[in-house]
Amino acid sequence: MLNQTTKTKLEALRRKIGERANILIGFSGGVDSGVLLMVACEVLGKERILAVTLDSELLPRSELSHIEDFLKGLDLPHKIVRFPWQRDDAFVRNPHTRCYYCKRACAKLLKEIAATEGIATIAEGVTISDFDEYRPGIDASREEGIWHPLADVGITKQEVRQIAKELGLPFWDKPPSPCLATRIEYGVRITKKKLRMIEEAEEVLKAMGLKQLRVRLHHGGIARIEIDKAKMGVLSDSILLDAVCRTIKSLGFTYVTLDLEGYRRGSMDMRAS
């Protein structure tokens, strides 16, 4: 059950969405954009909503399958559009402001799609909690006129999960999964090969039953594995550990390390700040 504060915010969200004629929603497959999409469908109806997913090597294949399966069940208008990230060298060079350049390019592409479809409003699932983290991409989205209705009504990360559960979103407790470029140390050029290495290494660990994890790529081909501290015992068996190291090295990594601090959101940003 939602508390009164969260209920009030949800009603405010419904009112704000109801003021729009139609909306294009950038759907990443996460809980935030999932809630936004479900509320928009409830308020405006499916015929006035278009979900758009920007697909590229930055998005794990498992995430794309999850997105397709979920939206197929909703029977909702959905476009998967290729995102040509390699054209933006400012992003590929991977500076500390990397996400700004990526989100700016994403926003411009969404605006082109919206114009073609005759849609006036473009929205993303950004919560008020996102402003407490290092998120230069939010500035880029705002500059391009992208609407953040969850943040506008003050919905937090914790509240969005509560709302998702209340609305029956099947992946309300899904771990966050930002784009694969966030795993690459700033200053290390982003390539398809590196993104594929990271994706495949994370799939190796997920196959062992680990869910909350990251494989971070550092200078020199170092793989720094972050997993939930409570799950570190999974990697305590020396035979299994050797097998994991061999497999991940075979993907192209030079060294494989386990971060004893465990999984942390945005650990690359902590290091760079």
From CA 273, how far away is CA 209, in angstroms rounded? 32
Q: Which CATH class is domain 180-272?
A: alpha beta
Instruction: Kindly state which CATH superfamily the domain 4-167 is placed in.
Output: HUPs (3.40.50.620)
pLDDT confidence bin for 74, thresholds 50/70/90: confident
What's the mean pLDDT when you consider all of the chain? Answer: 95
Query: Average pLDDT of 5-16?
Result: 98
Domain boundaries, the chain: 4-167, 180-272
> pLDDT per residue over 116-156, tens digit each?
999 999 999 999 999 998 999 999 999 999 999 999 999 99
Q: Quick one: pLDDT at residue 206? A: 95
Residue 168 has pLDDT above 70, yes or no: yes
> pLDDT per residue over 205-220, tens digit each?
999 999 999 999 999 9
Query: Average pLDDT of 237-265?
Result: 95
CB 113 within 8 A of CB 51: no
CA distance to 4, 28, 30, 156, per residue, from 162 (Å): 12, 19, 14, 10
CA distance to 55, 116, 171, per residue, from 29 (Å): 11, 23, 9
> pLDDT per residue over 215-236, tens digit each?
999 999 999 999 999 999 998 8
Query: Average pLDDT of 44-60?
Result: 97
Q: How many CB atoms lie within 10 A of CB 168?
A: 8
